[in-house]
Structure 1
Amino acid sequence: MLFLMGESVRKKSSPLGQRPCAICNREQSFFHVQEVNYFTFFAVPLLPISTVADYCQCEVCQTAYADENQSLPSHVDLVRIVTTYILTGYGMANQVRIIQEIGRKISESDFATTDIKAISRRLEVEDVMRKLEESSSTMNAFGKIKIIEAAFLSTHVCCEIQYEDRLRINLMGNALGVSIQIVEHAIQEVRRKKYYGVHRLLPTQSAT
């Protein structure tokens, strides 16, 4: 009897019309995307259990936005948060240029000094893992991969990655609801792109 019951994620999308896309830098057609986890009986969805994803997506570049009124893609703020969080954790908070470079190259948007300062204040009271988990439903796979890329690249510029460093990146992927395989894919993308041209920091540079 237990084999007759289960869960299944169902995805649906509905057109939203034209709206500006920050990545395409022009108006594009958008869709509202929802993924809902259902309780199933004989593979028939009966009751919704939870919302797995709920976002708006550009039809052309596939970038996700938290809702149709947001001007920035839903992953951008989290790329900035993760980058600032990791470099600060390695004692590199004063490396503003590197933080900006990583944030800009991965999110394809400007990362102002004032934004770094604001995020640093938020990090005093916010839990990054919880923030990732709470925001995961506003992103598609592309956005989540960008966040993992930011986590890996930020770690790479600070140190030779050890077990605990990779574990942190894996945990971020887990908070976003992605598999280890997706995390590995994001890491390989950063390597394939030659680390986005970002130079590594030497230990002595943290004091400059």
Structure 2
Amino acid sequence: MSKSPDASRRSERSRRAILDAALALVGEVGYNKLTIEAIAARAGVGKQTIYRWWPSKAAVLLDASLALSGEAAEEGEWTFPDTGDLAADLKTVLRATVDQFLDERYEAPTRALTAAGATDPELGAQFTGQLLEPQLALYEVRLRTAVDGGLLPADTDLRLLVEMLVGPLTYRWLLRTAPLTHAHTDALVDAVLRGVGYVTTRPAAAGT
């Protein structure tokens, strides 16, 4: 007696094919020319299958980017080290961010979602909340450790400090004002930490 097809596995294969198709196509044709019809054809599914799960091409692309980000996290591509040297840890992460910005797997979908989110407040909020905020929160956790250890002033505005680190890099990437390099991110980290009063030696405990 033959076993009946596993509908859940079939659905997951279709979903994965749709997400992969969206990522591939946005890199090939750009966001403006990306269509649900093209995604369906590339994935080998009917258009209505996509609309059953997502309301728009932007929603498909957001889920595809979230899946890609999740895979990167599982592979250890997005981790925040804590070696005890804050400057070195920030440089490691920002260098990895440069590498990701320059990786064709990430660049086209991230640019597309950034542009679409600028004109679609709901999509922008989802993009920020689901994709960006979890990454920015990792910065804050690491910076809080430095504050607690006395390496940063107790009144440091952690979110502002994160924006000072990530903002210039994102600006350079979005507007292509200059090449993205590891040397640039290293200089950025040094300048920002110097400006906020970072000390490289843990203060001695009172009474010692």
Length-normalised TM-score, structure 1: 0.31
Which of the pair is proportionally richer in helix? Answer: 2
Which of the pair is proportionally richer in strand? Answer: 1
Q: Looking at CA atoms only, which structure, 1 or 2, has the larger radius of gyration?
A: 2
